[in-house]
Amino acid sequence: MPHPLGTQPSKIVAVHLNYPCRAKERGRTPDQPSYFLKPPSSLAGTGDALVRPRGCELMSYEGEIALVIGRRAHRVAPERGWDHVAWVTAANDAGAYDLRYADRGSNLRSKGADGFTPVGPRLLDATGLDPAALRLRTWVNGELVQDADTSTLLFPFGVLIADLSRLVTLEPGDVILTGTPAGASVVSPGDVVEVEVSAPDRHLSGGRLRNTVADAAHDLAAWGAMPRVDAALRADAWGPAHADEPALSEDVAEALRGLATATLSSQLRKRGLQHMTIDGIRPADPGAKLVGTAHTLRYLPLREDLFAKFGNGMNAQKRAVEELRPGQVLVMDARRDPTSGTIGDILALRAKVRGAAGVVTDGGLRDSAAVAALGLPTYYAAEHPAVLGRRHVPWDTGVPIACGGALVQPGDILVGDADGVVVVPPDLAGELIADSTEQELQERFIAEQVSAGEPIQGLYPLGPAWQAAYEQWRDDQP
């Protein structure tokens, strides 16, 4: 289907980073906007296929708000920049990471292929729209994967137009792709990507831009750069919210499942790590075993004037759940305040469906009986029926937090049993497993001797007089 612009623009300018949530994903926040150009021949419309070149595996989507210039802009001041925008519409800044190395920075081949910039389906008249009150949403196969508004952009739209027009004249019909929020990732042939731009305060929508990913019907000619990927590029393309790789190797996870938190805590203290337990929490099911890596969510104290902005819609709490990868534990910093719920049965169920290994919060748990019945290892400070806005504002995800007095970083390993939860630094996991396994073997031997009537003097902890007997016993174990 033809795109809705009517004429080909003289240029398409794309912004690298503009949403704070995306900057956090990328690990850098720019001081000034930076740009790249996409060829006008990359334009497409709703219903057109997103064709992945043969030999490529990392076809990406990036839902964006596209601005269409209506009036020539040359040396425009920021406060007048929006006056030069005629229309707003949805766009998908698609690309193939496999070819990014060939034109690093310019993105010509990776982002400029024919059809890699679908826009539409309808143009919203910019007149009367508040540029700081637009909403952008992206779905993949019907699942919401991006949801952001323009109230906190690093570089508001007027600033972008002013910055560009200092040196580059923007002509009527030119398109500015204004950046993508967190949640951009990889799609495969058969996947359907939909992007919508709306103005909730005006009850307006440009409709859903809908494109299906397809494989190219021809091989990529062998002259020039060919697709190339490695593990680092895959991790970059998939992104933290959608990477398919297990969060923790199964060998390490299985070894940790076989160890008691009491043993791990003892070994951590021997290494000078005295504050690795998450205190003041209890398990919904004492018989469950928790092992996984931390995905963090931070709550801040309730401020009623900020809750409407940060607590509603696709807030940090919901984003944290939707960002979960298989094997991750949702770990929440509720400032040890148990007088309001921090998660309930619906979001806990969603976490389980996404493959979460468990939930840990130093705040309250709603719907505690229903959550306990899910079979998802869950640790919490107290039951509480209150909804989210009583004590907390969900603030951000993927940051270091304090949970139950322990500092938890994203990627830390969480191990839980009936005694509680301990935080295991990933770089210590191997030696902790080895030493904890040895400690538990010694304790089994000691328990057998105590059961047989031996006194604990010189036996617990294992002393030199018992060392030979223990080694013989250990060698006889199956």
Which residues carry a binding-site annotation for Mg(2+)?
A: 367
User: Can you give the chain as a three-state secondary structure string?
Assistant: CCCCCCCCCCCEEEECCCCHHHHHHHCCCCCCCCEEEECHHHEECCCCCEEECCCCCCEEECEEEEEEECCCECCCCHHHHHHHEEEEEEEECCEEHHHHHHHCCCCHHHHCCCCCEEEEEEEEECCCCCCCCCEEEEEECCEEEEEEEHHHCCCCHHHHHHHHHCCCCECCCCEEECCCCCCCEEECCCCEEEEEEEEHHHCEEEEEEEEEEEECCCCCCCCCCCCCCCHHHHHHHHCCCCCCCCCCCHHHHHHHHCCCHHHHHHHHHHCCCCCCEECCCEECCCCCCEEEEEEEEEEEECCHHHHHHHCCCCCHHHHHHHCCCCCEEEEEECCCCCCCEEECHHHHHHHHHCCCCEEEECCEECCHHHHHCCCCCEEECEECCCCHHHCEEEEEECCCEEECCEEECCCCEEEEECCEEEEECHHHHHHHHHHHHHHHHHHHHHHHHHHCCCCCCCCCCCCHHHHHHHHHHHHCCC
Instruction: Output the furthest CA–CA distance in the chain (Å, rounded).
Output: 94
Q: Could you tell me which residues are annotated as the binding site?
A: 344-347, 366-367
Q: Could you tell me which residues are annotated as the binding site for substrate?
A: 344-347, 366
CA–CA dist 182, 146 (Å, integer): 6
